[in-house]
Amino acid sequence: MNVRTVSELDALMARLAEGDRVAFTRVFELLWGPIQKLCLSLLRNEADAADAGQEAMHKILERASDFDKTRPAMPWALAIAGWECRTLARRRERRRESHTDAIPSCAGPHAEEEFLQRDLTTAAMAALGELSELDREVLIATFWDEAASVSGATLRKRRERALDRLRKTFRRLYGLD
C-alpha cells in the first residue's frame, strides 16, 4: 500500500466517521485486501482467514463512527483484524481440545453411526471439491437456503445438473450413490 493510498484511506475513514456514506465502498475496498492478507498470514488457513476477515470488517465498520481522525486508519483497522484472528484461533483451539476430550465418551451404541456419518460428510465434501465453481455455488446455496446469483427455472436446471455431476463424481470416487 503506497503513501497516496494510505492518506486516501485516512481521509475517507474520517469522512465515514462523520457519516459520509459516499466513502463507504472505497473504504471497504481499501481495507479488505490488507485484512485478508494479515488474517491469512496469522491463521495459515484460507477458510479461517476468510471468517476472521469478515468478522474484522464488521467490527471495523461498526466502530467507524468512533474513529479518531488524528490517528492513521490502517494500523487501527489491522489491530482490530489481528485481535479478531487471535480470538478465532483461540476459539478453534479450545473447540479442538474439547473435541479430543469428548472422543472417549462417544464410545457408546451411537459411536459407530457418528463415525460413519462423519466419513460420509468428508466424502461428500471431497466430491463437492471436484465440481466446478458454478456447481459448488448452486449446491451450497441450495444447502444453506441462500439466494443464488440466478433464480427460477435457470436455478432449477443448474441445480439438477450440479446434483447429477455430484452423483457421478461420488460414484467414480467411492463406487456408490
Partner 1 sequence: MGSTDIQLLQRRVRRTYELARLRRALVGVLPIVVVTAIATLLASRPAPPLTFGLATALMGAMMLWHGRDPQKAFLPGVIAGLVPLALALGTGALHTCGTANCSSLCLPACVLGGVIAGMAVSGVSFQRRAGPWFWVSASGLALLTGAMGCACMGTSGVVGLGMGFGAGIVPGLLRRVFGQKAS
Residues that bind partner 1 (CB under 8 A): 16, 18-20, 24-25, 28, 32, 36, 50, 54, 57-58, 61-65, 133, 137, 149
Q: Which helix (H) or strand (E) holds 160?
A: helix 152-174
CB of 61 to partner 1, least distance (A): 4
Residue tagged 460414484 (cell numbers): 171
Count of C-beta atoms within a 10 Å radius of residue 164? 11
CB of 5 to partner 1, least distance (A): 19
Residue 170, CA distances (Å) to 66, 112, 126, 130, 144 in order = 51, 22, 9, 9, 21
Residue number, 24 or 76, with CB nearest to partner 1: 24
Residue number, 134 or 163, with CB nearest to partner 1: 134
Cα–Cα distance for residue pair 159/141, rounded to 1 Å = 10
Residue number, 42 or 56, with CB nearest to partner 1: 56
Residue number, 28 or 123, with CB nearest to partner 1: 28
Cα–Cα distance for residue pair 50/37, rounded to 1 Å = 10
CB of 123 to partner 1, least distance (A): 25
CB of 46 to partner 1, least distance (A): 9
